[in-house]
Chains A and B, each alone.
Chain A
Amino acid sequence: AQSVTQLDSQVPVFEEAPVELRCNYSSSVSVYLFWYVQYPNQGLQLLLKYLSGSTLVKGINGFEAEFNKSQTSFHLRKPSVHISDTAEYFCAVSEPGGGADGLTFGKGTHLIIQP
């Protein structure tokens, strides 16, 4: 069974400052890793994903994440945030080879950008 832990429920950051949202996972097998963003009253939009290859993954809106297998982490970073980045961010994991239960999500981190 897989699980995802997002350690911070809320992260307040000043505009134009860097941010890191933390994600740790546990799994007995290799995994695929994802970050999704959810704006208020909207669905989830994929920011980036790690399937294989380079451990540094670049996504949309200037976000990137690094897969660290030894630390079982997949932290999301952005060097300079904008007010429009205010949203809920979800880390998720799935199992290669077709585990039928889809994505396992963390509880989310609410990113609050302060002017």
Chain B
Amino acid sequence: NAGVMQNPRHLVRRRGQEARLRCSPMKGHSHVYWYRQLPEEGLKFMVYLQKENIIDESGMPKERFSAEFPKEGPSILRIQQVVRGDSAAYFCASSPPGVMNTEAFFGQGTRLTVV
């Protein structure tokens, strides 16, 4: 049973480009969370999704950021028109149905660098 898979591990984008970050949850997991980690900071919640539904996006910036978790395929975090301040590590976590908030399994993260 593979763990949470995130790709790419490292992503470099120029200012104004789009960044797409992918997360495949563990097999059988239907809850996906995205977190952002800025340098010297802890992880900040961005968005919580279940299949085809955004449950809570209260931590996501209102502009340029979007997330989806389609019926088939990985969850995608999309950042349009990236700026230098978007440089961070983005982590995805997944948990099984019925056990919300009792354990989350994390991927290795995508480190986004905006140049």
Q: Which residues of A contact B (CB under 8 A)?
A: 4, 6, 32, 34, 36, 41-46, 49, 51, 90, 94-108
Contact = CB atoms under 8 A, between A and B. Distances in A.
Contacts of A98: 100-101
B42 interface: yes
B1 interface: no
A1 to B, nearest CB: 11
Contacts of A102: 33, 35, 45, 48, 56, 93, 101, 104
Given A43-B91, A46-B103, A108-B42, 11 more contacts: A32-B101, A34-B103, A43-B6, A44-B43, A44-B106, A94-B101, A102-B33, A102-B45, A102-B101, A105-B43, A107-B41
Contact of A106 (B42, B56, B107): B42
A95 B42 contact: no
Where chain A touches its partner, the secondary structure class is loop
Interface residues of B, number: 28
Contacts of B104: 102-103
Most B CB within 10 A of own CB, among A51, A97, A105, A106 = A105
A36 B107 CA distance: 13
24 contacts: A32-B102, A34-B103, A41-B111, A42-B108, A42-B109, A43-B4, A43-B91, A43-B107, A44-B91, A45-B106, A51-B102, A96-B101, A98-B100, A98-B101, A100-B48, A100-B56, A101-B48, A102-B45, A102-B48, A102-B56, A103-B101, A103-B104, A105-B42, A107-B41
